[in-house]
Amino acid sequence: MKLKAQTISIEKLPSSTIDDLFSLYSKYYEGINYIQFSKDLSQKKKIIIIRNSDNQLAGFSTLTTFTIKSGTKRIKCIYSGDTVIEKKYWGTSALTIEFLKNIIIEKMKSPFTQVWWFLISKGYKTYLLMANNFHEYYPCYNKETPIHKKTLIRDLCEIIYPGHLDEQKGLLYFEKDHDKLKEYVAPITETMCKENPKINYFQLRNPHWSNGDELACIGKVSFLLGVTHPLKILIKQLKKNAKRLSNAYESR
């Protein structure tokens, strides 16, 4: 199940690929149309495209970067928009690795400037992408969001989605025709909430996520991200190999 990741400029996307992107996205989201999808795509700078060994589209995520002044500081922000991956590839790391590579490069371009990833999440899987990989992120299940970080979240929401943020709840509300996850894609069960405090926190903060409500989040980009995530993947693979060897030995 080998996947290939590539980051390309939105301007270089052929129309046939855009059709494929929309087709994949519409498998997992409802309340979308091609015109709006294309418009959102054109407002991004780059796209990460994932393909399988047969060169078939397996997933994608769009990216853009900009700089704002929040409080007294100039901050570089990375915003990721539409993101989806084929169900049979859920749990694979190609998209995550390519995304982390992109944001580390942006940090390298601005080593002395704070760089934050701005994420809006209508599903727990997207929230976990930040919560499981970033050393500092907000809102966080086990710490309060500082006032100046709430201000940054508010400023980012007002730039990209003016008038949609409920600042007290930290949620973005949209019209009825806003895209939302299809029911089968990322359901949350009581068992999941009991076993994973991060999923439970997401459910508490965004109880009506199935309506398309988005939890506004930020994660601090640091060079350490380029070390810890690859290490996690290595440890995970070593554990799989050890388990496979153990099972093979026991079956002898």
- Tell me the average pLDDT across 190-198: 96
* 134 CB-near residues (< 8 Å, 6+ apart): 117, 219, 220, 225
φ/ψ (deg, to 5) at 119: -130, 135
pLDDT digits (tens, 9 = 90+) for 21-78: 999 999 999 888 898 899 889 889 999 999 999 999 999 999 999 999 887 889 999 9
Domain of 159, in residue numbers:
3-221
Using CB atoms within 10 Å of the CB of residue 105, give its burial: 0 to 12 exposed, 13 to 18 middle, 19+ buried.
exposed
- Tell me the average pLDDT across 164-177: 89
Tell me whether residue 236 is in a domain.
Answer: no
Residue where the block lists tokens 């995520």: 61
35 and 71 in contact (C-beta within 8 Å)? no
Kindly list the distances between the CA atom of residue 26 and the CA atoms of 36, 37, 59, 70, 85, in Å, as whole numbers in the listed order: 12, 10, 12, 35, 11
Residue 234's pLDDT is: 47
37 and 82 in contact (C-beta within 8 Å)? yes
Alpha helix (H) residue ranges in the chain: 15-28, 34-42, 94-109, 124-131, 147-160, 190-195, 197-205, 225-250
How far is the C-alpha of 215 from the C-alpha of 117, rounded, in Å? 14
- Looking at the DSSP bridge assignments, the partners of residue 50 are 5, 59
* 35 CB-near residues (< 8 Å, 6+ apart): none
Residue 225's pLDDT is: 78
Residue 120's pLDDT is: 94
For position 152, which CATH number holds?
A: 3.40.630.30
Q: What is the mean pLDDT of the chain?
A: 87
Residue 243's pLDDT is: 56
Tell me whether residue 17 is in a domain.
Answer: yes
- Please tell me what DSSP assigns to residue 123: S
Tell me whether residue 77 is in a domain.
Answer: yes
pLDDT surpassing 90 at residue 235: no
Residue 180's pLDDT is: 84
Tell me whether residue 175 is in a domain.
Answer: yes
Tell me whether residue 246 is in a domain.
Answer: no
Tell me how many domains the chain contains: 1
DSSP string, 161-196: STT-EETTTTEE---TTS-EE-TTTS---HHHHHH-
- Please tell me what DSSP assigns to residue 140: B
- Tell me the average pLDDT across 201-206: 96
Tell me whether residue 244 is in a domain.
Answer: no
Q: Whole-model pTM?
A: 0.84
Residue 156's pLDDT is: 95
Q: What percent of the chain has pLDDT over 70?
A: 88
Tell me whether residue 241 is in a domain.
Answer: no
Tell me whether residue 228 is in a domain.
Answer: no
* 213 CB-near residues (< 8 Å, 6+ apart): 122, 171, 172, 173, 174, 206
Work out the angle at residue 23's Cα, subtended by the Cα atoms of residues 10 and 129, and round it to the nearest 5 degrees.
Answer: 65
The pairing of strands 171-172 and 165-166 is: antiparallel
